[in-house]
Amino acid sequence: MAINRTSSHGEWSSRTAFILAATGSAVGLGNIWKFPYITGENGGGAFVLIYILCVLFIGIPIMISEVYLGKRGRLNPIASIKYICERENRSKYWQVIGLFGILTGILILSYYSVIAGWTMAYASRTAFGILNNIDAVGATTMFNDFISDPERLLAWHTMFSIITAIVVSKGVKSGLESAVMRLMPALLVLLLALVIFSAFEGDFINGLKFMLYPDFSVVTWKTVLIAMGQAFFSLSLGMGALMVYGSYLSNDISIPQTCVIVASLDTLVALLAGLAIFPIVISSGLEMSQGPGLIFQTLTVAFGAMPGGQLFGTLFFILLIFAAWTSSISLIEPMIIWLIEKYDLTRMQAAAFSAGLAWLLGIGTIISFNIGSDFTIYGMTIFELLDYITSNILLPMGGIMITIFVGWFIVKENINSELKIKSRFLTFVWYFSTRILAPLAVMFVMLNALGFNINIF
């Protein structure tokens, strides 16, 4: 059955436009802020290796499945799945995938926007030269002072939320395509320059060793769960973001190829960020495992020492704000088109409501770094809990449901006519990974990390 519906929200102008938008969603704070600090907290090389395996064997099949659902349904995640269920004679309860995804997106956005606020603050500090010649101790003190002030965090969080709301209220595609097309390559170039600086000025050999030498003695099931959760988070999987972007995809485009490109670019950026950060962490005597402040402390030391660091650093933080912003657009977009389609809101109303909700929830994250830092649940602050639940539980659960639905509940011919995989071997690989490998791997890791100790070897 050929499926030739089009989206009422318009289509991407080309395959490149989709790749750019999906990469814009994938590449963000997850690659540059989160990947280095959780790699630092989880022992380095082995974590990186497990992360890459998760991208390959879990991430890519789920990404293809998710984009497929969006492209076929052409509506918001809930309605797309409903439409497909009707065509495939399946229970309409599969729609919960979409509902879960929409809520997860807002939960993630609530803390994502707080951290994006930090990058805005650091962009302005760098621009004003406040960081010139700062040393590791100075950078750490400055960061700690910064996060202990709830009002300041709130101001930046508010600013970022407003910018996000304004942009999405104007419609995503017009501006996004051309902006990503110019700024994403710039980010990559700056990141490369940073790696080169770090190679000359940092302890590159030991940084590289930390990142690439796998020491499995530090790996527990929890480490594996965190690496897998990071793969979901970084690739924007399991919550409908790529389903929405897939719904704007025109009919003649190969989903599998496109997804492999997006996943590779995303992983490249994360690895480059690690290569830039770790050598400087070591050479400046900072701690690998210092948590969410890691890049703000190391990068400021690097920019402070670099000739032209004030300009370079400002540009870097600005591009990081931009990367965060293209990701937050994709976190909020599923809820927005759902509100528009289901409740007939205007784009403006839907954007104001969704961004307002994420803003309000974000206050929990803000106080978890200062006045509320003693308030913990299961030993985690509000920020840690939100991050843990969304990345390590909600996104993987969404992912499992997506691959099981696509792998087992959609007639094979319908998938084949869309994915057009020619080689028989690749068709086998596709079905094996969506039907068996990806869902079992995710379940296996989650159950073990929760202490069920399932051993199949």
Q: 156 or 233, CB closer to ligand PHE?
A: 233
Q: Does 433 bind ligand PHE (CB under 6 A)?
A: no
Do 278 and 271 form a contact (C-beta atoms < 8 A)?
Answer: no
Residue with tokens 């011919």: 413
Tokens found for residue 225: 């769960």
Closest contact distance (angstroms) between CB of 454 and ligand PHE is: 27
Nearer to ligand PHE (CB atom), residue 37 or residue 204 = 37
Site residues (CB under 6 A) for ligand PHE, limited to 99-138:
108
Whose CA is closest to 55, among 454, 456, 438? 438
Min. distance of Cβ 28 from ligand PHE in angstroms? 3
Q: CA 274 to CA 208: how far, in whole Å?
A: 9
> Please, which residue, 324 or 410, has the CB nearer to ligand PHE?
324
Concatenated DSSP letters for 32-83? IIIHHHHHHHTTSHHHHHHHHHHIIIIIHHHHHHHHHHHHHH-S-HHHHHHH
**What are the b/e assignments for 136-168, b being 16+ CB within 10 Å?**
beebbebbeebbeebebbbebbeebbebbbebb
Q: Tell which positions 327-346 bind ligand PHE, by CB under 6 A.
A: 327, 330-331
Instruction: Report how far residue 310's alpha carbon sits from residue 130's, in angstroms, rounded to the nearest whole number.
Output: 9
Q: Between 282 and 397, whose beta carbon lies closer to ligand PHE? A: 397
Site string for ligand PHE, 303-332 (x = CB under 6 A): ------------------------x--xx-
Nearer to ligand PHE, 7 or 236 (CB): 236
For ligand PHE, which is the closer residue by CB, 58 or 108?
108
Residue 327 to residues 26, 127, 155, 420, Cα–Cα distance (Å): 6, 24, 20, 29
Looking at the Cβ atoms of 402 and 421, the one nearer to ligand PHE is 402
Measured from the CB of residue 72, what is the shortest distance to ligand PHE in angstroms? Answer: 20
Q: Which of 65, 95, 140, 236 binds ligand PHE (CB under 6 A)?
A: 236
- From 233, 296, 369, 430, residue interacting with ligand PHE (rule: CB under 6 A): 233
| Window 239 to 268, contacts with ligand PHE (CB under 6 A) | 239, 241
Nearer to ligand PHE, 28 or 44 (CB): 28
To ligand PHE, the closest distance from the beta carbon of 4 in angstroms equals 28
Long-range Cβ contacts of 284-289 (<8 Å, 24+ apart): 284/135, 284/136, 284/202, 285/136, 286/136, 286/140, 287/40, 288/40, 288/41, 288/44, 288/210, 289/40, 289/41
Assign 3-class secondary structure to 294-358.
HHHHHHHHHHHHCCCHHHHHHHHHHHHHHHHHHHHHHHHHHHHHHHHHHHCCCHHHHHHHHHHHH
Residue (of 58, 390, 407) closest to 224 by Cα position: 58
Residues 37-96 that bind ligand PHE (CB under 6 A): none
Nearer to ligand PHE, 314 or 330 (CB): 330
Smallest distance, ligand PHE to C-beta of residue 62, A: 12
Residues 21-40 that bind ligand PHE (CB under 6 A): 25-26, 28-31
CA 441, 442, 448, 454 torsion-angle sign:
negative
Q: By CB under 6 A, which span of 166-174, 231-239, 333-341, 397-405 interacts with ligand PHE?
A: 231-239
Which letter does DSSP use for residue 433 in this model?
I
Q: Residue with the closest Cβ to ligand PHE? A: 30
Instruction: State yes or no: residue 234 binds ligand PHE (CB under 6 A).
Output: yes
**Site residues (vs ligand PHE, CB under 6 A):** 25-26, 28-31, 108, 233-234, 236, 239, 241, 327, 330-331
